[in-house]
Chains A and B, each alone.
Chain A
C-alpha cells in the first residue's frame, strides 16, 4: 500500500534521515520505534509532505507522492495525525472533523457517506460527541488526541499515519488510545504508527522497524522484535 525507498530528508543543511526504505502492506499495522531524535517524526513528515524529502521515492497505491505538497498527498488517500495533535483550536469539534473530510466534500476525493462516517467517529469516540459544539482549543489533551485521530479517519484514508498518539496522556488514556488503535486494526485500516511506548506499539503492530540515528537498524515481525534481547534492553525496559 505504502512504499518508501531510499528516503533522505532533513532540515536545512542537516540531514536527519539517511536512506530509509520500508513498506506498509495493506491492512497491516506497521510501527516505527526508536529513541528521541532518531528520526521517527521526520519520517512521518516526509511521507505526508509536511517536509520535502531531499531524495527518495514514496509510492501510495502505486502512485508516486514524494515531493508533492501535503494537500495533494491527502487527496491521494493518506491521512496523518501529526505529533502534538495540531487541532484547529478556534473551530468546533464537528468542524474539525468535517475538515478531515475536506477533499471528500470538495470533489478532491470520492465523497461516500460523510455524515455516516461522522456518526461512526462519534461512536468510536463518545467523548467527542458530548463536546461536538465545543471549540477544539478548550478540549483536554486526551480529547484533542481523539479529535486528531478522528479527524484523520474522516478522510476515509487508504493509509493512516499516527504520530505519537499517546504523547502527554495519562496512563488510563494511553490504554484507551491503544484500544482504539486495536479496534481500527480489526476494521482493516492500514496504519503506520510512531510510538514512544515501544512495548505497547509492538503489542498492536504486525511488523516493526527500529530507527537509530536516521537509519533503520533492526526490523522484523513485531512478535520477533518483542523478544529480541537488544531491542528489549534499549527500548522496552522502562527505567533500566
Chain B
C-alpha cells in the first residue's frame, strides 16, 4: 500500500508537468483552433537556455529570463509557421509547419548543446522529505505549486483584465471580437507567446528532476497531447485531471508491469477517450452551425 501511495505521489508531480504543457496546447487552440506540434521542443529549449543561464546567475533570476525567451520563441513559431496557414485556412499547413519548426529547433539544440543529457542543478535541497513514510522531493512540491500558480495566474488574467477578456472573446467568436476593435491576430500571437512561455516554464521546472537534453521534449510533448485530449481541448479543469490520471497511470504501470511499458498507457487512454467521449472527459462538444 505504501508503495502505491508513493507511486501516486510521484505520479502527481509528473502529471502536473503534463497538465502544464497541455494547458499550453489549450491556449492556442482556444484562440486559433491550432496547436503547436513543437510544444515539447519549446519546453526543451526553455530547459536548455535555463541550464546555460543558471551557470551565470541564480535559479530565481534565470526564471524570468527563460519565460521571456519562451514567449519570444512562441512569437517566432506563430509568425513563421502558423499565421500564413491560418490565412489560407489550411490545417495541413499548420500541422506541417509547426512540426518542421520543431525538428529545426531540435536539430539546432543538438548542435549547440550536444547529444548527451546533462544534469540540471536543483535550486532546492535534493534530500527527499518524509511524510508518513512517503518520500517527496522538494522539487516535486515546487513542480505542483509552480504549475498550479502559472495556470491560476493566466486564469485570473483572463477573468479580470480587459486584455484577458479580449482573449476569451477571441476564442468565443473571432469575427465578433474583431468588431469590438480587438486585434485578433495579435491575440493569437499573444496566445502562442503565452503557450511557449508555459512550456519553457515547465521545462525549467522538470529539468532538475530529469535530465536536460535536446530529445527531452519529444515524449513530454506527446504525453501532453494525450492529456489535452483526455481532459478535453477546451477545459481548464480537464487538463489537471487528465494530467493526474496519466501521471499516476504511468508511475504505476512502470512499477507493476515494466518500466519499458510506462509510455503505453498514454495512447491506450487516448484511444479509449476518443472512442467513448471524443470531446474529452470534461470537454464540451460544440454544435457546428450549418
Given a CB threshold of 8 Å, the question of whether A touches B is answered with: yes
Is A69 a contact partner of B165 (Cβ separation < 8 A)? no
Is B168 a contact partner of A91 (Cβ separation < 8 A)? yes
For B178, list chain A residues within 8 Å (CB): 49-50, 69-71, 74
Residue A109 is within 8 A (CB to CB) of chain B in the complex:
yes
Interface range for B: 10 to 19
For A105, list chain B residues within 8 Å (CB): 162
For B179, list chain A residues within 8 Å (CB): 48, 50, 70, 74, 79-80, 82, 86
Which residues of chain B from 158 to 180 have any CB-CB distance to chain A below 8 Å in the complex? 162-163, 165-166, 168-169, 172-173, 175-180
How many Å lie between the Cα of A74 and that of B175 in the bound state? Answer: 12
Which residues of chain A from 105 to 139 have any CB-CB distance to chain B below 8 Å in the complex? 105-106, 108-109
For B184, list chain A residues within 8 Å (CB): 71
Query: Binding site of B, secondary structure by majority: helix, strand, loop or mixed?
Result: helix
Which residues of chain A from 84 to 110 have any CB-CB distance to chain B below 8 Å in the complex? 86-91, 95, 98-100, 102-103, 105-106, 108-109
Is A108 a contact partner of B181 (Cβ separation < 8 A)? yes
Is B173 a contact partner of A106 (Cβ separation < 8 A)? no
Among candidates A75, A90, A106, residue contacting B163 with C-beta atoms closer than 8 Å = A106
Is A71 a contact partner of B181 (Cβ separation < 8 A)? yes
Among candidates B162, B176, B185, residue contacting A88 with C-beta atoms closer than 8 Å = B176
Contact status of A71 and B168, CB under 8 A, knowing A88-B176, A106-B163: no
Contact status of A102 and B176, CB under 8 A, knowing A88-B168, A91-B168, A95-B165: no
Is B176 a contact partner of A82 (Cβ separation < 8 A)? yes
Closest B residue to A151 by beta carbon equals: B180
Distance in Å: Cβ of A122 to nearest Cβ of chain B: 18
Residue B267 is within 8 A (CB to CB) of chain A in the complex:
no
Closest A residue to B170 by beta carbon equals: A88
Contact status of A91 and B169, CB under 8 A, knowing A102-B180, A102-B182: yes
Residue B210 is within 8 A (CB to CB) of chain A in the complex:
no
For A71, list chain B residues within 8 Å (CB): 178, 180-184
Closest B residue to A100 by beta carbon equals: B180
How many Å lie between the Cα of A102 and that of B163 in the bound state? Answer: 9
Interface range for A: 20 to 34
Distance in Å: Cβ of A77 to nearest Cβ of chain B: 10
How many Å lie between the Cα of A86 and that of B85 in the bound state? Answer: 25
Contact status of A86 and B180, CB under 8 A, knowing A95-B165, A99-B165, A106-B163: no
Among candidates B165, B166, B176, residue contacting A86 with C-beta atoms closer than 8 Å = B176
Is B181 a contact partner of A103 (Cβ separation < 8 A)? yes
Is A99 a contact partner of B166 (Cβ separation < 8 A)? yes
For B181, list chain A residues within 8 Å (CB): 71, 74-75, 102-103, 108-109, 155
How many Å lie between the Cα of A137 and that of B174 in the bound state? Answer: 16
Closest B residue to A45 by beta carbon equals: B175
Among candidates A49, A90, A155, residue contacting B168 with C-beta atoms closer than 8 Å = A90
Chain B residues engaging chain A, CB cutoff 8 angstroms: 162-163, 165-166, 168-169, 172-173, 175-185
* The 9 A-B residue pairs with the shortest CB-CB distance in the complex, in nearest-first order: A74-B181, A70-B178, A103-B181, A86-B176, A88-B172, A71-B183, A88-B169, A102-B181, A105-B162
